[in-house]
Amino acid sequence: MKIIIHGGFFSESDQSHEVKTAKQNSLKKIAAKAFEFLKTNSADATVVYAISLLENDSLYNAGIGSQIQSDGKIRMSASLMNGDTQKFAGVINIENVKNPIKVAQVLMKEDDRVLGGNGAKIYALENGFEDFSTEIPQRRKEFEEKVKNGGKGTVGCVALDSNGKLAAGTSTGGKGFEIVGRISDSATVAGNFANQFCGVSCTGVGEDIVSNATAAKIVIRVTDGMTIEKAFEKTFSELKEIDGFAGAISIDKDGNIFHQDSYPTMVFASYDGTDFETFN
């Protein structure tokens, strides 16, 4: 059993040492809780559990930490992929739900598994999700002052369970001030992908991740026989060609954990029941 989570990027220029320490402690705590959950639950259920904890922490750009778009509203996206069943489900630009990743989880049972905008919101209400404002005063103040410091962050998780099954999930609150209708990578296979060989969740600039098809490329290359390290090396070399801004976390079927970023520092934590690794 293995787990790795990420919480976007940390910039020394616009975040304090106190925020950095808070994120390190938060990620370590969430990774430990998720690993304990993983002991008695599947990889996909654990991914949802871990991401919901990240969505509930305003340190991160997802859930209650989400950015405000150019029209003053918050819209979020999230996706979940089960590496065993190869099912992918997600919501795009959903409003007023506390945990978009949980809506993606419920969508797994549907034939139509990726919903956007108002349709996603209606589906959530019909399936028992309460209307919930994810706006916090800090975000509204930033919006009113036109502070654009959010933009390169999502949260995500990859888990390998005791049965050798993999799953990956990603959730985002957008980049802030974006054009209404913009779609990020988080609910696409470029930003979130898993199969029986490997799972990957990405963070960074969505347009760069989509242009590079980052998550899908890494997983496919591992599937075709590359080591996870080589798959990352080749994919990130291609990302460099377009000066792409991204980070990714991953676990392969053998339990190898790997992560990489193109512009440090991606914030992450991994745990295998014995050893923690967190970003510096």
pLDDT on residue 141: 86
Residues in the chain: 280
pLDDT on residue 2: 98
Residue 223's Cβ-count burial label (10 Å; 0-12, 13-18, 19+) is: middle
Does 94 carry a binding-site annotation?
no
161-179 residue pLDDT tens: 999 999 999 999 999 999 9
pLDDT on residue 152: 59
Does 252 carry a binding-site annotation?
no
Q: Which of 154, 170, 214, 235 is catalytic?
A: 154
* pTM of full prediction above 0.85: yes
Does 206 carry a binding-site annotation?
yes
Cβ atoms of 169 and 191 within 8 Å: the answer is no
pLDDT on residue 145: 79
Catalytic status, residue 154: yes
Cα within 13 Å of Cα(134), Cβ side: 33
Does 66 carry a binding-site annotation?
no
Does 205 carry a binding-site annotation?
yes
Integer-rounded Cα Rg, in Å, for the chain is 17
175-225 residue pLDDT tens: 999 999 999 999 999 999 999 999 999 999 999 999 999 999 999 999 999
Does 185 carry a binding-site annotation?
yes
Which residues of the chain have a pLDDT value below 50? none
Look at domain 2-278 and name its CATH class.
alpha beta
Does 203 carry a binding-site annotation?
yes
pLDDT on residue 151: 53
